[in-house]
Structures are given as structure tokens and as C-alpha cells.
């Protein structure tokens, strides 16, 4: 369960204040699949960064699995993020000189898992995304769709409760995008909550709910 109530976020420079989120309220239930849409500058990325505990907020409240995150120290936020949240990026964010296996392994090493547990998680994740036979390949030897599947496997290996996807099909052609979307639907069907930012209306309607943002607020009637 992810609940934000009256969250606000303002970016300030010497001369300009930009209100990225204004009294932003949104609740996402466990097992949901929510597509977040809206024009550039509507607050989508800010929302996703706050949801992923990558940014703080100025006002309001945010509870993740019933726990308020507002006043947690950095080490507690990092622990919560590593245990509960997986990230999928538009640009894949793979390390080019590491194999598929080692790319998925990197965040598991940071979490301190032993070699046997890491291998179990990596093998399971690569099997789920259909890349068991490509574990020794480099990213440059894969198609864009396959690289994104590696990114998804990397997130899944952490066994997160929530997957946050930032334009996961933005750098893919339509056929590859459909394949990635089908994979996300399969992952959601197993109980993982997914929040996906997208500009593609055809993909947004395949989520269980669509939330439209404009000027840092949820549009009326769009809250799940």
C-alpha cells in the first residue's frame, strides 16, 4: 500500500520557484497496476522519485506499507528502498562491460547477499523475463527489448513489493514495447504492485488504473 496525502514539493533557485507537486494525494493498493500520465512538467517524475524514496518532500504525508517515511534518516530510507522497491528505467541503466548475470548481480551485492542466494535470485529473475540463455552476453549483444528485460530482471531479483517504471518502453519500437508491457502484466498478475509513468495512451489503458497529472495535482476523478 502506497499512500500520499497533500504532498507538496517545490524546487527553488535564486530567482524561481517551481511547484512540482501541490497538495498531491494518491492511494495505490497492493497488487495494483497504475499508469501515471500527463504532459511534460506535470509532476510525473517528481511523484515517482518521491514514491521511490529518491527525493524528499516539503509538506504532507507519505506512507509506504503503513509506515510514514517523512522523518526517516537516510540510512532507514535506503534500507526501506532496497527491501521494498524495484526500479525500471527508460535508458535501461546497464553497465556495458558487465554480462547480463553480473548486471543483475550488482544491487544484490550491495545488499550483502551470499553467493548462493544471489545466484538463486538471478537465475529465477532471468528465467521470468525469458533470458536464461543470455546470462553471459554483454548488453551490446542484446536488442533494446532484451536490454529492458535485463533491467526488469535486475529489479525483480530484489524481490520488491513495488515496481516503479519510468517510461519503460520509451526507447523501444512498438513491437518491443508490447513485449515489455506483456511481461509487466505477467509480473503484476503474480501480486507485484506496479506504478508506470508513460506518455503512450495505448499502454496506459492496459494498466488497471490511469492517473492523470497536470500542474502537480491529480486530475479530478482520476484517483484509483
Q: Where residue 69 falls among pLDDT bands split at 50, 70, 90?
A: very high
Average pLDDT, the chain: 93
What is the mean predicted confidence (pLDDT) over 120-135?
96
Per-residue b or e along 43-63, where b marks 16 or more CB atoms closer than 10 Å to that residue's CB: bbbbbbbbbbbeeebeebebe
Q: Mind listing the domains of the chain with CATH numbers?
A: 2-218 (3.40.50.300)
Q: Where residue 219 falls among pLDDT bands split at 50, 70, 90?
A: confident
Residue 23 scores a pLDDT above 60: yes
Cell of 16: 524561481
pLDDT of residue 220: 62
Residue 221 scores a pLDDT above 80: no
In this prediction the pTM is: 0.91
Q: Tell me what percent of the residues of the chain surpass a pLDDT of 70.
A: 98
Residue 222 scores a pLDDT above 60: no
Amino acid at each position: 500500500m502506497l499512500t500520499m496525502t497533500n504532498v507538496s514539493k517545490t524546487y527553488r533557485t535564486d530567482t524561481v520557484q517551481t511547484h512540482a507537486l501541490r497538495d498531491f494525494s494518491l492511494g495505490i493498493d497492493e497488487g495494483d497496476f497504475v499508469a501515471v500520465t500527463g504532459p511534460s512538467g506535470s509532476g510525473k517524475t517528481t511523484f515517482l522519485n518521491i514514491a521511490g524514496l529518491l527525493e524528499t518532500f516539503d509538506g504532507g504525508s507519505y506512507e509506504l506499507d503503513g509506515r510514514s517515511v517523512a522523518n526517516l534518516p537516510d540510512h532507514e530510507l535506503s534500507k526501506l528502498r532496497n527491501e521494498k522497491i524495484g526500479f525500471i528505467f527508460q535508458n535501461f541503466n546497464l553497465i556495458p562491460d558487465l554480462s547480463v548475470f553480473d548486471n543483475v548481480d550488482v544491487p544484490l551485492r550491495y545488499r550483502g547477499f551470499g553467493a548462493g542466494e544471489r545466484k538463486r535470485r538471478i537465475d529465477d529473475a532471468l528465467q521470468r523475463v525469458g533470458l536464461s540463455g543470455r546470462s553471459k552476453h554483454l548488453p551490446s549483444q542484446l536488442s533494446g527489448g532484451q536490454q529492458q528485460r535485463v533491467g526488469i530482471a535486475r529489479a525483480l531479483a530484489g524481490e520488491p513489493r513495488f515496481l516503479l517504471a519510468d517510461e519503460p518502453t520509451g526507447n523501444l519500437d512498438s513491437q518491443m514495447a508490447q513485449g515489455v508491457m506483456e511481461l509487466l502484466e505477467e509480473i503484476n498478475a503474480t501480486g507485484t504492485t506496479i506504478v508506470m509513468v508513460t506518455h503512450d495512451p495505448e499502454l496506459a489503458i492496459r494498466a488497471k488504473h490511469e492517473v492523470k497529472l497536470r500542474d502537480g495535482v491529480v486530475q479530478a476523478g482520476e484517483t484509483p
